Amino acid sequence: MVSEHSDAQGGETAALALKILVAGGFGVGKTTLVGAVSEIRPLRTEELLSEAGQSVDDTDGVAQKTTTTVAMDFGRITIRSGLSLYLFGTPGQDRFWFLWDELSQGALGAVVLADTRRLEDCFPAVDYFEHRRIPFVVAVNCFAGARQHRAPDVSRALDLDEGTPVVLCDARDRDSGKEVLIRLVEYAGRMHTARLLDSVG
């Protein structure tokens, strides 16, 4: 998406806004990441966890979690002058995945948040983006007290395509989250350029 705005000298400059998805399993930190990096007050669609959802929401390892995203989170961050990212946090539970197709329309790429204590929870997101050829990075949210793993080990455990970036992060920290987003934009840019060259080659 490209929009025009006037600069201080009265000329027109192009402002580029890119759509990024933040995905991953239940309780992995998607809402936290969007809230930490967003320069606007993030839009959240959270509801309290209920007894009715206990049979379908696996809270092992995230027992302290009391709310869940039921539609999406939304935030915005300016990476540099003229480049902004619109962040769409996806719901983590299977029953809300019908929203993913709508949210992924027009997305430059995605961040798949991973928790090494529940690594299998991010397999569906990895599969989703691989099958749709949407560039993504895996961001390992380093929770306090969790065993630390090296990025290559996580890549092998998830059987990622060669070259798919894996970065360690703290979803609560703005600078850490921003670094993840910069890595994604750089990677997605390389992927889109390579595909464009392939199509005209």
Tens of pLDDT along 149-182? 999 999 999 999 999 999 999 999 999 999 999 9
71 closest CA partner among 34, 104, 39, 98: 98
Beta-carbon contacts of residue 186 (< 8 Å; ≥ 6 apart): none
Q: Which CATH architecture has domain 16-46+67-199?
A: 3-Layer(aba) Sandwich (3.40)
SS3 state of residue 26: coil
pLDDT tens track for 97-150:
678 888 899 999 999 999 999 999 999 999 999 999 999 999 999 988 778 899
Least confident of 71-75, 100-104, 182-186: 71-75
Site of tokens 């703005």? 174
* Residue extents of the structural domains in the chain: 16-46+67-199
**Strands 67-69 and 73-80: what pairing?**
unpaired
Question: What one-character-per-residue DSSP string does 15-56 give?
Answer: EEEEEEEEEESTTSSHHHHHHHH-SSPPB--EEE--GGGTTT
CA distance 137 to 53: 30
Q: Please give the Cα distance from 196 to 63 (Å, whole number).
A: 46
pTM for the model stands at 0.80
State the pLDDT at residue 145: 78
